[in-house]
Amino acid sequence: MSVHLNVFVIKLPKNLRDRWQDALAVQGMSCEFRPDFDPDTWSGSDLVAKLTIAPGGFKGAERYGSVPFFTGCGMDLYHAPEFEEQRSALLVQCKPPICTKLAKATQKFSFFTSMNRTTEAWRLQVFAAATLAQVTGGLFYDPQTSAFSTGDEAVKRATAETALEELEAASRLKPGQGCKVRPFRTWRAALKHAIPEYTEA
């Protein structure tokens, strides 16, 4: 099934793109978001990223190899009051500390992948959402489990969830075989693969 993850943010910090990429690097993923991605003007599309996995960056990192590759997940951005219906429903369910932050949220980032997602797309989706919550002080929300997380807790959750899926995927690989990733060559090629209508050089 498709998986959706939300991050509710009160205010975006300055230099969010750089801070977000730095936070992903701490998790063993040297990341460069698509060149036209600007958090201040983004409305929604595929969040495509160039990733290079650090050797030993996390358990099982070696299965991704050391060659830069590209992957992506969907990411839409909503501004209040566009997500008011969901917020109102959640405010009835959540505890006071969470409610306070949720009530003040001015933006909602929605990350999503399809049922046929790859392990690297799942890793990007979960960690992009978790680290965004971390660097913005926002709320990570999983609609599948109705669970909220904040900051480092969201990152720990991402670590656990990706480890489980990657371990399962590894069980289907032959001994010594790594993940089949798409090597990064140029942004034109990467974005054309993700978004067919992209035509700029």
Residue 140 has pLDDT above 50, yes or no: yes
Q: Where are the alpha helices (DSSP H) in 96-195?
A: 96-104, 119-136, 151-170, 187-194
Residue 58 has pLDDT above 50, yes or no: yes
Total domain count, the chain: 1
User: Which whole-number Å values give the CA distances from 146 to 69, 101, 106, 110, 150, in the listed order?
Assistant: 32, 16, 20, 14, 14
**CA-derived radius of gyration, the chain:** 17
pLDDT band of residue 198 (cuts 50, 70, 90) is very low
Instruction: Evaluate whether residue 199 is within a structural domain.
Output: no
In total, the chain counts a number of residues equal to: 201
List 4's β-bridge partners, or say none: 112
Instruction: Evaluate whether residue 200 is within a structural domain.
Output: no
pTM > 0.75: yes or no: yes
pLDDT band of residue 197 (cuts 50, 70, 90) is very low
Evaluate the CA torsion angle 57, 60, 65, 67 in order and state its sign. Answer: negative
pLDDT band of residue 167 (cuts 50, 70, 90) is confident
Instruction: Evaluate whether residue 34 is within a structural domain.
Output: yes
Instruction: Evaluate whether residue 201 is within a structural domain.
Output: no
Instruction: Evaluate whether residue 142 is within a structural domain.
Output: yes
Residue 40: closest CA among 18, 72, 23, 70: 18
Evaluate the CA torsion angle 63, 161, 114, 196 in order and state its sign. Answer: negative
**Beta-carbon count within 10 A of 197 CB:** 6
What rounded mean pLDDT belongs to the chain? 91
- In the three-class reduction of DSSP (H, G, I as helix; E, B as strand; rest coil), residue 66 is classed as coil
Instruction: Evaluate whether residue 83 is within a structural domain.
Output: yes
Predicted local confidence at residue 45, as pLDDT:
79
List 9's β-bridge partners, or say none: 107
Instruction: Evaluate whether residue 88 is within a structural domain.
Output: yes
Predicted local confidence at residue 119, as pLDDT:
92
Per residue in 15-26, pLDDT (tens digit) is 999 999 999 999
Domain holding 10, by residue range, is 3-194
